[in-house]
Structure 1
Amino acid sequence: MMHQMYPQVAHNYTYELNKDFNFSAAHAIPDARAGKCQRIHGHTYFVNLTIAGDILDDLGFLVNFSTLKQLVHDQFDHYLLNDLTHFKGKSPSTEVVAHTIYEMIEAHLATLPHAPVCVQVFLRETPSSYVVYRPRKKEQSHG
């Protein structure tokens, strides 16, 4: 696993959890403006999720690390992203994949009674290219 320092997110939560993992997938950007990326090609994507919250569950977890990996890895690893329902009608660019991962994680977090939130998705597509997705501050409010 690549060890990396990730961009920091300003928040006022008590706990911050970061989970790193990777998945291998192929995609194509279906537009001539994408140049050679319009052809099917693959990447080993590296993901860092930043989850924050004020309350731990009964096991003392903000979120179980293995659950976070399963939510994304099992759905994307060794797939052609263009074929997945998450990307129907969308170009599976790194930006769109990062936002989709955020939505998947937030959907799970919304089911947890202690209300953790995803504050950042870092998605590296190549050694020299990555995207950071952060929800707008109003989506991070907690009460």
Structure 2
Amino acid sequence: MMHQLYPQVFHDYCYELNKDMHIAAAHFIPHQLAGKCAHIHGHTYVVNITVAGDALDETGFLVNFQKLKQLVHGKLDHTLLNDHQDWFDSKNSEHFPTTEIVARKIYEVVQDYLDALPHKPKCLQVFVRETPTSYVVYRPKAGDR
């Protein structure tokens, strides 16, 4: 895997964890103004998830890397994103599988998992690179962290 540098989130937490993964998936944007993106096409997405916190769990982890991979890669890799109707929908543009919304949905799933942990780590950002020249960073507003 090529090492990449990602935009940093400045924070006061003691620990910061970053998990990289590649996701091979297809999608289409169900809107007439989406141009070529309205047709099914695929990407090898590069995803980076940043998690931070002040306390570790009973195993000495902030978060288990494998669990993050299971939540995201295990769900999306080698699929048609539009088929994940629990994440995306073709009627509401707030839920189309654009890169922006893919990043937001990954954040929501990861943060829901983190909220259930007793030591309460926080997902600070999700980076999703769709092509070598295009990427999105999703960060929750400071008050939501």
- TM-score, normalised to structure 2, is 0.94
Aligned residue pair count: 140
CA RMSD in angstroms comes to 0.8
Aligned to 1:41: 41
Q: Using the alignment, how far apart are the partners of 1:47 and 1:109 within structure 2?
A: 18
Q: Using the alignment, how far apart are the partners of 2:20 and 2:31 within structure 1?
A: 31
Q: CA deviation at 1:115?
A: 0.3
Q: Using the alignment, how far apart are the partners of 1:3 and 1:32 within structure 2?
A: 37
SS in 1 for 2:82: helix
Q: Using the alignment, how far apart are the partners of 2:49 and 2:74 within structure 1?
A: 15
**Identity fraction in percent:** 61
Q: For 1:89-128, list aligned pairs within 5 A.
A: 89=91, 90-128=95-133
Q: Using the alignment, how far apart are the partners of 2:35 and 2:64 within structure 1?
A: 40
Aligned to 1:135: 140
Unmatched segments (≥5 aa) in structure 1? none
Q: Using the alignment, how far apart are the partners of 2:129 and 2:122 within structure 1?
A: 21
Once superposed, which parts of structure 1, at least 4 consecutive aligned residues long, lie more than 6 Å away?
A: none
- TM-score, normalised to structure 1, is 0.95
SS in 1 for 2:11: coil
Q: Does 1:87 align with 2:92?
A: no
